[in-house]
Chains A and B, each alone.
Chain A
């Protein structure tokens, strides 16, 4: 301390000496008064600190209360807006897009089932009865028929008791028609569901299937119907090699 003091400027030494004198108790009226003052200051300081630490609402000033109220109502507004947003989201999920997506999926499933021939179908279309002489009939004529029917918009075709699907094939064995490996005896009964007028019109085109059958001495009878049923089903087999490309 003494070394430090010797290195200090004179005024600093004086200041420390005065501080030392201040620390010595001196009883005088003025000093006691000052002590009373500092006592009051210390008391008020602590009181205020404690009061500021736990401010009750009823002790706040009007402006502070207004600011608090503003803050609270702003937060309430924000939360209300969030509630509205979330509730509209909830509604949209419950009634809107959710069921729409389900309906779309159901529609897609139905059309895929009809295309795959796994469900019986009914609707307007044509029924054809084909009589042909044994031996004169060729698979090409049958394929021509399927092409013509599909061209005319046939959505489901049944030949004999066989549902015609994308994988169906036509063959001839011992003069008997084979569809998907099943024998179909003449006279064939062919049912196609689609627009009846278009289908019957397609069958009447010169040089088409009807003409070819007549060319071999057979006969084709086309009857339009409003409520035809295709009940032959195709058994879908699990693809052995083909795999869907994973979608991105």
Chain B
């Protein structure tokens, strides 16, 4: 429950403050957000499977964000930033889909 409240609070804070993204963060933020979303859906799925662990969740969010940022950084350094970003988004999107499908199976049995 508290994590859900945290999510809602984060959205509200973002809407109220509407901060400007710093220039150095600009390429990493979208990928980081998608990676974090992947972790959130994975956490919900783990909770429904009674396998949720706070520590694992925190570490997975942080590591997802870090790895995503690293991949983007590496891609930008190699000159294939756009392509690598697309690849990361595709992979994370697939994971989000499969997590959501698992959640749906748990809750609806279908």
**Interface residues in B34-82 (C-beta closer than 8 Å to A):** 36-37, 39-40, 43, 47-50, 52-55, 57-58, 61-62, 81-82
A46 touches B1 (CB 8 A): no
Q: Which of B87-110 contact A (CB under 8 A)?
A: 106-109
- CB pair B30–A38 under 8 Å, yes or no, is no
Residue A16 lies at the interface, judged by CB distance under 8 Å to chain B: yes
B37 — which chain A residues lie within 8 A by C-beta? Answer: 41, 45
Given the interface contacts A14-B50, A41-B33, A46-B15, does A34 sit within 8 Å of B6 by beta carbon? yes
CB pair A22 B47 closer than 8 Å:
yes
Interface residues on B, range: 35 or more
**Pick the contact of A19 from B23, B29, B54, B107 — CB < 8 Å?**
B107
- For A107, list chain B residues within 8 Å (CB): none
Which of B5, B10, B37 has the most CB atoms of chain A within a 10 A radius of its CB? B10
* Contact yes or no, A42 B9, CB < 8 A: yes
Q: How many A residues have CB within 8 A of the partner chain?
A: 42
A237–B57 alpha-carbon span in the complex (Å): 106
Chain B, Cβ-Cβ closest to A30: B54
In the bound complex, CA of A63 to CA of B21 (Å): 19
Find residues 25-75 in chain A having any chain B CB closer than 8 Å to their own CB: 25-48, 50-52, 59, 61, 63
Q: How far is the CB of A101 from chain B (nearest CB, A)?
A: 57
A24 at the interface (CB under 8 A from B): yes
B10 touches A38 (CB 8 A): yes
B67 → A minimal CB distance (Å): 15
The interface of chain B, by Cβ under 8 A from chain A, is 1-15, 18-21, 23, 26-27, 29-30, 32-33, 36-37, 39-40, 43, 47-50, 52-55, 57-58, 61-62, 81-82, 106-109
- Would you give 26 A-B contacts (Cβ < 8 Å), ordered by A? A11-B109, A15-B106, A16-B107, A19-B107, A22-B52, A23-B4, A26-B2, A31-B2, A34-B2, A36-B6, A41-B33, A41-B36, A41-B40, A42-B8, A42-B11, A42-B13, A43-B11, A43-B14, A44-B29, A45-B10, A45-B36, A46-B10, A46-B15, A46-B18, A51-B20, A61-B82
